[in-house]
Structure 1
Amino acid sequence: MDTLSGRIAAVSLGLTSWLVALATFLVAIGFLAGLPLAPFHLEGPLAVPPWHALALDGLLLVGLVAAVLLATGRSHRVRLLMVSAVALLLMAFWQPLGGETWQFDNPSLRLVLSAAFGLGAALLAYALVLADVLSGSGLVAAWRRLPVGSARAIPALARGLRGEARLASGLGVLLCVWGSPAMGVAHLGLALLASLVVGWAMVRGRARSSGRVLRLERAPRDGVRHAA
């Protein structure tokens, strides 16, 4: 991959993964918001028996979680392609569960919830871009290796933005799944599940950060002991 052709191939793969991820992101926004032009919708009338729909949706969610776990440790481009492909399959085969848990008719409240959804979508887009910038195998990194790109390394300050990217993505997910004036059974279940996953990820990320801080604090002490 150090040759010019290899670098061009890396940029092509990075651009392809970005286009697929962008298409998936836009479809997912329409899927959650129930936009008329969206190809798939989270809510709708029952098309199959309830237990069949629940079982299929559960399998699709398990498949998405498995894809995320399998993508861990792979390059940023491969992660984007894997997760995007499985997310598109989930939305394509999703079966609405019908029913309605609540619906707000107050125009002001509907406007606030819609604004929260829009803010969540913007935060997710920001986190997606920031993750690529900070990744060593993303589109930006591949572009830097081209002769026309800049070979400058990402400054140390940018590496500290990884926590900001995680926070933006977590908050964006919560705003998107809960920022809805009307919510059906499937939407409520997905919102609760997403909240649990985001909470677990935040706790796990904080524990990792605390562990790194402790290791950094112990390193100078260990060096002093060895020197003594």
Structure 2
Amino acid sequence: MKKAAFLLYGLISYVIFFATFCYAIGFVSALLVPKHIDSLPQEPLGYAFLVNALLLSIFAVQHSVMARPAFKRWWTKFVPQPIERSTYVLLASLCLILLFWYWQPMGGVIWEAKSASLSLLLQILCLLGFGVVLISTFLINHFDLFGLRQVWFYASGIEYQDLPFRTPFFYKYVRHPLYLGFMIAFWATPLMTAAHLFFAVMTTVYMLTAIRFEENDLVKHFGVKYLEYKKSAPMLIPFTKASQAKEKNEASMITDGEITP
């Protein structure tokens, strides 16, 4: 019964996530959803700004803090290991639903594509960004990333094993195609309102900050393999070079025993 309950919990968490992700596409691109990022403003600008900042902060804190290894070690004292990832995914989805529900449009047009062809191009580019995000999750193991692999292994009586280090397809050109896809999706819009600009700026700053923490965790987990990977693939912009100074600092960390090869 426990195995079945965990599997059901993982499946429900995944369905909620996938529905939330689909709504996020409509929310950002202003397609096929009743309320989107560029809807007509209903509240004063100051109030809208504060509410939106709070909503984005709630998501950022939850998404970053719960992803850190130290938090996971503490968290799994209360949440069973097989459903830890599913719980993280569920809470992240609920934070996004809260954002969609209470988001306050702010009006004010920053730019607008006057040409129908340019407007269509930007709309397609936005959707392609989301496509890069989704494809990237499958490249690294979509079902592990969103907790299904963990609950399936537990239900099947198979001991969970961490995924090996791999750099398939997009990952050969940039280290974080997921974040790159989101940035493309958030910035490519035929109508950039004040609310959309605020959302794009805040989420970009968050992602650039999150990358630093995430890469520190990856270096500690994979050691030399990830450091070598950083030499061959840029962080976000294809065909650019990594910082040599940073690589030297990280190499010295290995020498000092802070990173396990």
Same fold (TM over 0.5): yes
State which of 112, 124, 128 in structure 2 corresponds to 1:119: 128
Larger deviation, residues 202-211 vs 60-69: 202-211
| Distance apart, 1:176 and its partner CA | 0.9
Amino acid at match of 1:21: F
Q: Which residue of 2 aligns with 1:160?
A: 166
Partners in 2 of 1:186 and 1:93 — Cα distance? 13
Alignment of 1:97 onto 2:97 = no
Q: Which residue of 1 aligns with 2:232?
A: none
Q: Which residue of 2 aligns with 1:190?
A: 199
Alignment of 1:25 onto 2:21 = yes
Using the aligned pairs only, state the percent identity.
Answer: 25
* Residues 154 and 53 of structure 1: CA distance in aligned 2, closer, same or farther (over 3 Å): closer
Secondary structure, in 3 states, of the residue corresponding to 2:106? coil
Q: Which residue of 2 aligns with 1:40?
A: 35
* Residues 155 and 191 of structure 1: CA distance in aligned 2, closer, same or farther (over 3 Å): closer
**TM-score relative to the length of structure 2:** 0.69
Alignment of 1:6 onto 2:2 = yes
Secondary structure, in 3 states, of the residue corresponding to 1:102? strand
Partners in 2 of 1:208 and 1:67 — Cα distance? 17
Partners in 2 of 1:78 and 1:166 — Cα distance? 26
RMSD: 3.1
CA shift digits 1:130-149 (9 cap, x unpaired): 454445x82123223444x9
| Distance apart, 1:96 and its partner CA | 0.6
Check the 8 A contact 1:71/1:78 in 2, yes or no: no
List runs of 5+ in structure 1 lacking aligned partners: 223-228
Secondary structure, in 3 states, of the residue corresponding to 1:101? strand
| Distance apart, 1:59 and its partner CA | 1.7
Higher helix share: 1
Q: Which has the larger radius of gyration?
A: 1
Q: Which residue of 2 aligns with 1:181?
A: 190
List runs of 5+ in structure 2 lacking aligned partners: 76-83, 225-250
Partners in 2 of 1:209 and 1:143 — Cα distance? 25
State which of 83, 106, 115 in structure 1 corresponds to 2:92: 83
**TM-score relative to the length of structure 1:** 0.78
* Residues 206 and 33 of structure 1: CA distance in aligned 2, closer, same or farther (over 3 Å): same
Amino acid at match of 1:57: N
Q: Which residue of 2 aligns with 1:226?
A: none
Partners in 1 of 2:91 and 2:175 — Cα distance? 19
Amino acid at match of 1:78: T
| Distance apart, 1:205 and its partner CA | 3.7
CA shift digits 1:176-228 (9 cap, x unpaired): 10111111001011111122122223344444555533466677xx9xxxxxx
Check the 8 A contact 2:60/2:206 in 1, yes or no: no
Alignment of 1:49 onto 2:44 = yes
- How many corresponding residue pairs? 211
